[in-house]
Amino acid sequence: MQRFDTTNFHLLCDKLSRRDKDLKAIIKEHGYPPMWTRPASFQTLVLFILEQQVSLASAYAAFKKLKERVGYITPAKLLALSDEEMRACYFTRQKTGYARGLATALQNRQISLRKLAILEDDEVRTKLIQLKGIGHWTVDVYLMHALQRTDLFPLGDIALVNSLKEVKQLPPLISKDEMLTLAEPWRPYRTIAAMILWHAYIKKRGIRIQQ
């Protein structure tokens, strides 16, 4: 599998900018995107579960509240919390269930995050998708941001889709298959292309991202 890191990230951005004038224009106007990465940890996966289908600000508020309560988030610490304590950290009943399911799978060694780090992308997806509440978007962003794999393009991400439509001046009802076809020339660095597109979306709207 291919990974990006601080030694090659800007080089990969440059490589894509030579392939695509629109990506080049984003970098020219806004500079390189941040290299958005997070540790390959349970804590990171909990944050990604919180980010499902809500604003980043509300997800981070819940994540911050949980960290204030337990410190560094581990499966054992999360499983020790009652329903009431999880609600006090702004977790819905559904996301409480998802986070507990993940914590239990890690404690029971059904899943090993250390082992996931050395598997191919498709193998990581097969392992994680078995868990309730872990869908393709969550797997995609874990592969991108935690495992730093280079070739993901998560069309379940509304901001990415909207940025692609804006940058490429696409019709509102374009299909996912058509968007994936547009992204084909960016292989095997679609993760980097996605980060450039997110960068354009964030800059255009003046959004602040918590790291």
Q: How large is the average pLDDT for residues 166-175?
A: 95
What's residue 168's pLDDT?
97
CB distance 71 to 77 below 8 Å: yes
CB distance 172 to 165 below 8 Å: yes
CA–CA gap between residue 164 and residue 103 (Å, rounded): 35
pLDDT in tens, 134-150: 999 999 999 999 999 99
What's residue 54's pLDDT?
87
What's residue 210's pLDDT?
66
* Torsion angle in degrees (nearest 10) through CA of 173, 178, 180, 183: -100
What's residue 1's pLDDT?
85
What's residue 211's pLDDT?
59
Which domains occur in the chain, in start order?
9-35+152-204 (1.10.1670), 42-146 (1.10.340.30)
What's residue 170's pLDDT?
96
pLDDT in tens, 72-94: 999 999 999 999 999 999 999 99
Is the predicted pLDDT of residue 96 greater than 70, yes or no? Answer: yes
pTM of the model: 0.95
pLDDT in tens, 28-75: 999 999 999 999 999 999 999 999 988 888 999 999 999 999 999 999
